[in-house]
Amino acid sequence: MAYIWPIGGGKGGSGKSFLTSSLGRLSAGLGKRTLVIDLDLGAANLHTLVGVPYPKKGFSDFIRKKTLRLEDTVVETPFENLFLISGAHDNFDIANLPYEQKIKTLRAIMKLDYDSVLLDLGAGTSFNTLDFFLISQHGIFITTPEPTSIENVYRLLRSIYFRRIRYCFNVTDFKALEDEVVIRFGSGSVSKPECMIKVIADVYPEKHEQLQDAFSAFRFKLIINQVRKHDNAALGMQMSRMIEKHLGLHIEFAGNVAYDDHVHDAVCQQVSFLERYSYTRTACDLREVSRQIVQSAGKQMVFNYM
Amino acid sequence: MQKGFEQLNYYEMLDIKPDAVPFEIRHAYNAALQVYQPGSLASYSFFSGDERRDILSLIEKAYATLINDQARKDYNEELISRGELNAEKVASPAVKKPVSIFNISHSPAVRIVITNNEALKRKINQSQLIGDILAQNALCGADLKKIRSELGVEIEQIAQETKIRHDHLRSMEEDHIARLPAAVFLKGFVRSYLKCLCLEPVEELSTRYMDTVARFPQK
Ligand SMILES: Nc1ncnc2c1ncn2[C@@H]1O[C@H](COP(=O)(O)OP(=O)(O)OP(=O)(O)O)[C@@H](O)[C@H]1O
Ligand SMILES: [Mg+2]
């Protein structure tokens, strides 16, 4: 089974696609058969970042044609061992992917025969995005050191936490839980999974144990991208400690990636940043982050919530 | 896990070991301020204004207590008496490296295991009392308690096994209607309780219990 790395982050422009393509290239460079999938439908641009300006086929074909398998929509890239499922030609938002299609896609992704699969999830916290994020225990969060981006990443994190809790309950029980949370913690607490988990510990102790097991299996990662000279380098560490303390979720800080104007240049010239500017601080950071992530991977588990 | 911040002890709040020296305490305090201060990027949008204020005031208190020798001593005593901190008996004097004197421990709990299920089931089949109770068309908390006592199972064992809080179990057995959790949750409780005692059929009995309880006068 492939290692699956869902890559999410709050705000647009934080560098999810750039990091997906970079991590994908580094993985392919190690000789691993690597597939990057653009699930940021509607705003797809991963193909451009991996050197395939006009992909001949893509994810939309899988959705539209019943007989097609997901692996039939894969295209090669100019880089050895790196493959792509493009999101271009999709004019709908992933949030609108119908339920059956989503399940079909999730199953197909898990069956893919590659060493690593990276999912560029785009911004947003639609249920579909959350479900794709939860397909593997290796979800990666990307943020920049700006309050706007951090706010979004915290929202995404709490949404994912809620979504995972939600899998354990049916609609009515979940509603009852929500009501109970408001009764106990006040109306400001509905968006706080940490309050809900306390209620669950009290009224569904067995489910609480199951959830604890599930959450302790997650190996979430946090990357701070576009870090400039004067930014606080300890930010990622502070965030991960705080999340652990207050949400009880373990997120490992995988490193900072420096801001570099050459990223823009490489994108514009349609060349690989890692190759053209391989001695820059940013390229070093990318290699370090990639090493971190692969090293602490552990084993890929099969999740079947649905 | 998942203790609220306010339930952590001062050492945990500041992320330091119980044998931290003042230098480390000061350092940890500054680090905490960096994270929790209103302008901090790391905690941006994470807390409401009130939550942030509460956390900061706890951190102040933690720092003020731990940095003062006498206050810290008193606080340690308090933790020791609560069983959260062990005054460690240092083993061999031959060890030269520094040893910590305290060890934080949270659950001294020893696990009591319910006697095996087969034995329980046999007892249930043989007991006249249990047979009579299960033959009625009502089933209240007091009945559950009678069955449990007949089987010789302690309430602590049920709490251990089902992870249901003690006070909830007591309220159930005493039919303390006002203290029972909402029906949706109660149903789960009674199911776990029945399963734990190997009482069957679980669905039917839990429904019977829920119906019985629903007919009690509300306080
Ligand atoms: N480390 C970096 N240094 C400098 N510029 C960067 C860096 N990372 C990303 N960028 C720039 O930010 C822009 C946005 O990046 P990217 O497209 O990867 O973001 P995104 O998170 O995928 O956005 P969206 O949610 O809109 O898909 C890129 O055009 C790139 O030039
Ligand atoms: Mg993108």
Structural domains in chain B, CATH included, are: 5-90 (1.10.287.110), 117-214 (1.10.260.40)
Residue B1 pLDDT more than 50?
Answer: no
Interface predicted TM-score (ipTM): 0.89
Residue B113 pLDDT more than 60?
Answer: no
Determine contact, residues B59/B33, Cβ cutoff 8 Å: yes
Domain assignment present for residue A303? The answer is no
CB contact, 8 Å: B1 with chain A? Answer: yes
Region of A298 (left: φ > 0; alpha: ψ -120 to 50; beta: rest) is left
Cβ–Cβ pairs < 8 A, chains A and B = 71
How far apart, in Å, are the Cα atoms of B19 and each of B100, B101, B104? 6, 7, 11
pTM of the entire predicted model: 0.83
Secondary structure class of B150 (helix, strand, coil): helix
Burial class (CB in 10 A: 0-12, 13-18, 19+), A252: middle
Q: What percent of chain A has pLDDT over 70?
A: 97
Name the residue facing B45 among A145, A151, A212 (closest C-beta).
Answer: A151
Residue A125 pLDDT more than 90?
Answer: no
Chain A CA closest to residue B48: A188
Q: Return the CATH number at A257.
A: 3.40.50.300
Q: In angstroms, rounded to a whole number, what is the distance separating the alpha carbons of residues A15 and A120? A: 10
Q: In angstroms, rounded to a whole number, what is the distance separating the alpha carbons of residues A275 and A68? A: 35
Q: Which atom of ligand 1 is nearest to the CA of A225?
A: 1
Least Cα distance to A288 among A39, A81, A22 occurs for: A22
Residue B92 pLDDT more than 90?
Answer: no
Q: Which of B158, B160, B163 to mutate to test the interface with A (most CBs of A within 10 A)?
A: B163
Tens-digit pLDDT profile for residues B13-61: 999 999 999 999 999 999 999 999 999 999 999 999 999 999 999 999 9
Determine contact, residues A165/A197, Cβ cutoff 8 Å: yes
- Minimum distance, in Å, between the CA of residue B198 and any CA atom of chain A: 17
Q: What percent of chain A has pLDDT over 90?
A: 78
Tens-digit pLDDT profile for residues B125-145: 888 999 999 998 899 999 999
Residue A241 pLDDT more than 60?
Answer: yes
Least Cα distance to A93 among A38, A37, A42 occurs for: A42
Domain assignment present for residue A135? The answer is yes
Give the burial string for A210-236 (b: 16+ CB within 10 Å, else e): ebbebbeebbbbbbbbbbeeebbeebb
Q: Which of B9, B12, B44 to mutate to test the interface with A (most CBs of A within 10 A)?
A: B44
Q: In angstroms, rounded to a whole number, what is the distance separating the alpha carbons of residues B120 and B130? A: 12
Lowest-confidence region among A144-158, B40-54, B99-113, B121-135: B99-113
What residues contact A278, with CB distance under 8 A and at least 6 apart?
none
Determine contact, residues B24/B100, Cβ cutoff 8 Å: no
* Residues 4-23 in B contacting A (C-alpha not used; CB under 8 Å): 4-5, 8, 15
How far apart, in Å, are the Cα atoms of B174 and each of A149, B41, B132, B133, B142? 52, 51, 20, 16, 6
Q: In angstroms, rounded to a whole number, what is the distance separating the alpha carbons of residues A125 and A132? A: 11
Domain assignment present for residue A161? The answer is no
Omega before B201 within 30 of 0, i.e. cis: yes
pLDDT band at A11; cut points 50, 70, 90 = confident
What mean pLDDT do residues B169-180 have?
91
pLDDT at A272: 94
Residue B3 pLDDT more than 80?
Answer: no
Distance from chain centroid for Cα B38: 32
Chain B CA closest to residue A248: B2
Across chain B, which distance is largest between two alpha carbons, in Å? 71
Tell if the CB–CB gap between B185 and A212 is shorter than 8 Å.
Answer: no
Which residues lie with the beta carbon below 6 Å from any ligand 1 atom? A 9, 12-18, 40, 43, 122-123, 225-226, 257, 259-260, 263-264, 267, 282
Q: In angstroms, rounded to a whole number, what is the distance separating the alpha carbons of residues B171 and B177? A: 7
Least Cα distance to A224 among A251, A261, A191 occurs for: A251
pLDDT band at B93; cut points 50, 70, 90 = very low
Tell if the CB–CB gap between B45 and A248 is shorter than 8 Å.
Answer: no
Residue A126 pLDDT more than 90?
Answer: no
Domain assignment present for residue A51? The answer is yes
Q: What percent of chain B has pLDDT over 90?
A: 53
Report how many domains make up chain A: 1
Domain assignment present for residue A71? The answer is yes
Full residue range of the structural domain in which residue A67 is found? 3-155+218-295
Domain assignment present for residue A88? The answer is yes
Structure tokens belonging to residue A277: 């500017």
Structure tokens belonging to residue B151: 């089987």
Q: In angstroms, rounded to a whole number, what is the distance separating the alpha carbons of residues B34 and A42? A: 39
Residue A102 pLDDT more than 50?
Answer: yes
What mean pLDDT do residues B159-167 have?
89
Secondary structure class of A255 (helix, strand, coil): strand
pLDDT band at A142; cut points 50, 70, 90 = very high
Q: Which residue has the tokens 């991960």?
A: A240
Separation of first and last alpha carbons in chain B:
35
Q: In angstroms, rounded to a whole number, what is the distance separating the alpha carbons of residues B76 and A84? A: 59
Q: Could you write out the DSSP letters of every residue in A62-107?
A: HHH-TT--GGGG-EE-SSTTEEEE--TT--S-GGG--HHHHHHHHH
Domain assignment present for residue A213? The answer is no
Measured in angstroms, how far is the CA atom of residue B212 from the centroid of ligand 1? Answer: 62
How many C-beta atoms surround the C-beta of residue A177 within 10 A?
A: 22
Domain assignment present for residue A210? The answer is no
pLDDT band at B206; cut points 50, 70, 90 = very high
**Which chain A residues are Cβ-neighbours of B188 within 8 angstroms?**
203-204
Q: Could you write out the DSSP letters of every residue in B46-98?
A: TS-HHHHHHHHHHHHHHHHHHHSHHHHHHHHHHHHHTTSEEE-----TT--S-
